[in-house]
Amino acid sequence: MKITGSGSALPAQRITNDMLGEFLDTSDQWITSHTGIKERRVIKNERLSDLASRACRLALEDAKVKAEDIDLVICSNVISDCVTPGLSCFIAGAIGYRGLCLDINGACTGFIQALDLAHSYFSAGKARRILVCAAEKPTHLADWTDRATCVLFGDGAGAVVLEKGRTEACPASVFGTEFNDEFLIMPSKRSTCPFTDDPYSEGFMYMNGQEVYRFAVNACVSDITAAAEKAGIALGDIDLFLLHQANSRIMTAARTRLKLPVEKFPENVSYLGNTSSACIPLLIDSLRRENKLFPGQTLALSAFGAGLTHGAMILKIE
Ligand code: UT7
C-alpha cells in the first residue's frame, strides 16, 4: 500500500495552556509536565466538514489526482457537525466524488482501522486508489469544567491518498477490542421518545485517566511487538514509530518499554494536543512536507482509544 499524497487542515484558533488557566484551576506547568501539551487548535466557527474537505483536497493535489480517480472514500470520525449524513458524504460533496463513501467510528484507532480496510479493498481488487481521511473535534465532547479531560484535546483533520503497493507482506496489522464502557465514554443525545428508558444519560465525555493510561501503554507495546513479528521485522529495523498522540507520557512509557530511541518517535501532541484519530494522518502529512518520509522506510503505526479499541500496523513506504 503506497501513500501517494497527504493533506491536513487545522482550525485557526490556537488555545495555549495559559488561556485554560484563566477559567480552570490548572497551569501550564501541570499540563506540560503531565501531558507534554503546550497548545491545541479548537474549532471556533469552522465546520469540521470544511476542515476534512480541505485536508482531502490538499491530499488529492499532492497525489496529483482528481476525485474521479478515487474508487473509495473512507472517513474516520467520532463526532461531526451532523449525526447523519456521515462526514465522508460531506467530503464527497466538497471534492465532487460520487462513489462509495464509508465512515468508521473506531475512536482514536479509527485511522489505522481505515488503512486496514483500504488494504483489504486493494487485496480484493476492488479499488486502485483510496482517499482516507480522519477528522475530529473532540473538544466538542469534553466537559470544559473538567480540568482532567478538556486540557488534553484538540481539533483537526488529516488525509492520505493510497494506492495498491507492490509488497504483499506489508502492511501487517493487529487489532483488538477490550470492551469497556466505564473508562472512556461519551453518552449520546437523550431521546425524547416517551416509550424509551435510555440507560445512557446525555452528558459529557467521561474518562478514568489512570485506567486509560495503563491500557494505552500496554496496548501500544504489545500491538507494536505483535505487528512487527507478523511483518517479520525487528523493532530496531523500523525507521519511525507514529503513535496516537494521546499524551507524551504514554509515548515515553511505551518507547522506554520497547527500548527505542526518542528520535524515532515524531510528535505533534505538544502543539496540537490529542486530535483523536486525526493525530497520525496529521503526523504523516507534516513528515511528508518536511521530506522526512521516503521510499524504503518502514513505519510502525499504533493507536488506542475508546472501545477500548487498539491496533498497530507496519507499513513500508514505497
Ligand atoms: O486517547 C486517549 C485519551 N486519554 C488519555 O490519553 C488519558 C490517559 N491518562 C493520562 O494521561 C493521565 O491520567 C492524565 C493526564 C489524564 C492525568 O494525569 P494523572 O497523573 O493520572 O493525574 P491524576 O488523575 O492522578 O490526578 C492527580 C491530581 C489530582 O488532584 P488531587 O486529587 O491529587 O488533588 C487531579 O485533580 O492532578 C489533578 N489534576 C489537575 N491539576 C491541574 C487533574 N487534571 C489537572 C489539570 N491541572 N489539568
d(CA 245, CA 109): 11
pLDDT at 168: 58
Atom 36 (ligand 1): residue with closest C-alpha? 148
pLDDT at 165: 82
Q: 149 alpha carbon to ligand 1 midpoint, in Å?
A: 8
Q: What angle do the packed helices 279-289 and 48-63 form, to 10 degrees?
A: 40
Pocket test for ligand 1, best of 182, 211, 213 (most atoms within 8 A of CB): 213
* Sign, CA torsion 24/143/10/275: positive
DSSP string, the chain: -EEEEEEEE--S-EEEHHHHHTTSS--HHHHHHHH---EEE--SS--HHHHHHHHHHHHHHHHT--GGG-SEEEEE-S--S-SSS-HHHHHHHHHT--SEEEEE--GGGHHHHHHHHHHHHHHTTS-SEEEEEEEE-GGGTS-TT-HHHHTTB--EEEEEEEE--S-SS--EEEEEEEEESSSEE---PPP--TT---SSPS---EE-HHHHHHHHHHHHHHHHHHHHHHHT--GGG--EEEE--S-HHHHHHHHHHHT--GGG----HHHH-B-GGGHHHHHHHHHHHTT---TT-EEEEEEEETEEEEEEEEEE--
pLDDT at 265: 98
pLDDT digits (tens, 9 = 90+) for 125-151: 999 999 999 999 999 989 999 999 999
pLDDT digits (tens, 9 = 90+) for 192-204: 777 877 766 677 8
Q: Is the CB of 53 under 6 A from ligand 1?
A: no
CA angle 135, 277, 312 (to 5 degrees): 145
Q: Is the CB of 147 under 6 A from ligand 1?
A: yes
Atom 12 (ligand 1): residue with closest C-alpha? 209
Atom of ligand 1 nearest to the CA of 149: 16
d(CA 280, CA 275): 9
pLDDT digits (tens, 9 = 90+) for 293-304: 988 899 999 999
Contacts of 126 by beta carbon, 8 Å cutoff, 6+ apart: 71, 72
Q: Is the CB of 174 under 6 A from ligand 1?
A: no
pTM over 0.85: yes
Q: 142 alpha carbon to ligand 1 midpoint, in Å?
A: 14
d(CA 285, CA 292): 10
Contact 41, 14 (CB under 8 A): yes
Atom of ligand 1 nearest to the CA of 27: 47
Atom 29 (ligand 1): residue with closest C-alpha? 148
Q: Which portions of the chain are predicted below pLDDT 70?
A: 167-170, 199-201
